[in-house]
């Protein structure tokens, strides 16, 4: 039994493939996750829709999570936002996520900093579901 547990724990530590900066949609939480760098990080909640991931090494921005994606798409469609080429930029979702003020005013700068991810494209054909990662 002990050797089986050791093998299991070793398999969890095995590399799962090469890192690629790409958005991941998690249907259970209806959220988009994006990591720009493969670096150990911790989460800091900006508001109810946006969480940023900061490097444990130097506190620089590593990625973000946007919650409520389906609702954002519905609201965007209600206002006539059309997606012509099966792609939408992460900035579309960040605009919604940055509307509620930060829950802690000291985090406002991080909300501005996350705008560097605005041009990341989400290609419907390539968007990776979290269950497939």
Residue pLDDT, tens place only, 16-47: 678 888 888 888 889 999 999 999 999 999 98
Between CA 67 and CA 32 the distance in angstroms is 7
Residue pLDDT, tens place only, 65-104: 999 988 888 887 766 666 666 777 888 888 888 887 677 7
Residue 36 has a pLDDT of 92
Q: Which helix (H) or strand (E) holds 9?
A: helix 2-13
Residue pLDDT, tens place only, 105-128: 777 777 778 888 888 887 776 665
Task: Report, as an integer, the average pLDDT of 50-59.
Answer: 95
Domain boundaries, the chain: 21-132
Contact by Cβ (8 Å): 97, 50: yes
């Amino acid at each position: 039994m002990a050797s089986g547990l050791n093998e299991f724990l070793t398999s969890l530590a095995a590399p799962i493939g090469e890192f690629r900066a790409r958005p991941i949609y998690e249907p259970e939480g209806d959220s988009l996750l994006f990591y720009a760098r493969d670096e150990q990080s911790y989460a800091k909640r900006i508001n109810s829709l946006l969480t940023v991931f900061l490097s444990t090494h130097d506190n620089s921005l590593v990625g973000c999570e946007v919650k409520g994606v389906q609702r954002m798409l519905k609201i965007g469609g209600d206002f006539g936002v059309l997606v012509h080429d099966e792609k939408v930029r992460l900035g579309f979702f960040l605009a919604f996520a940055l509307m509620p003020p930060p829950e802690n005013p000291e985090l406002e700068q991080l909300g501005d900093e996350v705008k560097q991810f605005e041009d990341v494209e989400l290609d419907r054909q390539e968007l990776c579901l979290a269950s497939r990662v």
